[in-house]
């Protein structure tokens, strides 16, 4: 999906009482473990501290990992990444995830908005992300933020038609 311009971003919903937005410190084992728990839950695949370090803190172009915290524990995350060779002048929204116990508070939207503001501050003019067909709530969030489907393959338009139709049910 692509957000063609980072101007006129929609307003961000307020953080619910008891939640705060900050940057994760992947040098801290506790943060790596908490990020792993959130991403394991959000993507229904195994994440551990080593994978967080490899895929987030050591991955090319990842510069900031944002986290929503409640009671001292990370419950949502998204990272700001740039891959200028693949996406010139665009920021890459990377691994947005929310712990299932904290869904329904628009935390994914809040943390994604933090990433988009990061891109604006760094001079990127657009944003891209990759998502899976089954991530309906995330896709709704991205559409609300102004992202639009991007057709890169011959079957993408048909796939997106099915995904978007499924969101209206």
pLDDT given at position 58: 92
Series of mean pLDDT values for 10-residue runs along the chain (169 residues): 93 94 92 96 94 93 96 97 94 96 96 97 96 85 91 79 77
Q: How far is CA 117 from CA 28, 62, 122, 126, 168, in A?
A: 25, 15, 9, 11, 29
**What was the pLDDT predicted at 129?**
96
Q: What is the per-residue pLDDT for 169?
A: 61
What is the rounded CA–CA span in Å between residue 9 and residue 146? Answer: 8
- Which pLDDT score is estimated for 136? 82
Give, in words, the CATH class of 2-167. Answer: alpha beta
CB neighbours (10 Å) of residue 88? 11
Phi then psi for residue 160, to 5 deg, are -65, -35
Closest CA to 80 of 14, 129, 33: 129
């Amino acid at each position: 999906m692509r957000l063609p311009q980072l101007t006129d971003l929609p307003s961000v919903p307020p953080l619910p009482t008891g939640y705060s937005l900050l940057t994760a410190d992947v040098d801290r084992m506790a943060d790596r473990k908490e990020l792993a728990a959130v991403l394991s839950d959000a993507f229904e695949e195994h994440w551990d501290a080593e994978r967080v370090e490899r895929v987030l803190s050591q991955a090319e172009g990842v510069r900031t990992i944002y986290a929503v915290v409640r009671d001292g524990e990370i419950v949502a995350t998204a990272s700001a990444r740039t891959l200028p060779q693949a996406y010139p002048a665009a920021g890459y929204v990377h691994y947005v995830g929310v712990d299932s116990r904290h869904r329904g508070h628009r935390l994914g939207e809040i943390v994604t908005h933090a990433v988009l503001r990061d891109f604006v501050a760094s001079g990127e003019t657009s944003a891209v992300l990759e998502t899976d067909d089954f991530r309906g709530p995330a896709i709704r969030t991205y559409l609300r933020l102004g992202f639009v489907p991007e057709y890169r393959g011959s079957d993408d338009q048909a796939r997106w038609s099915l995904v978007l139709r499924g969101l209206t049910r």
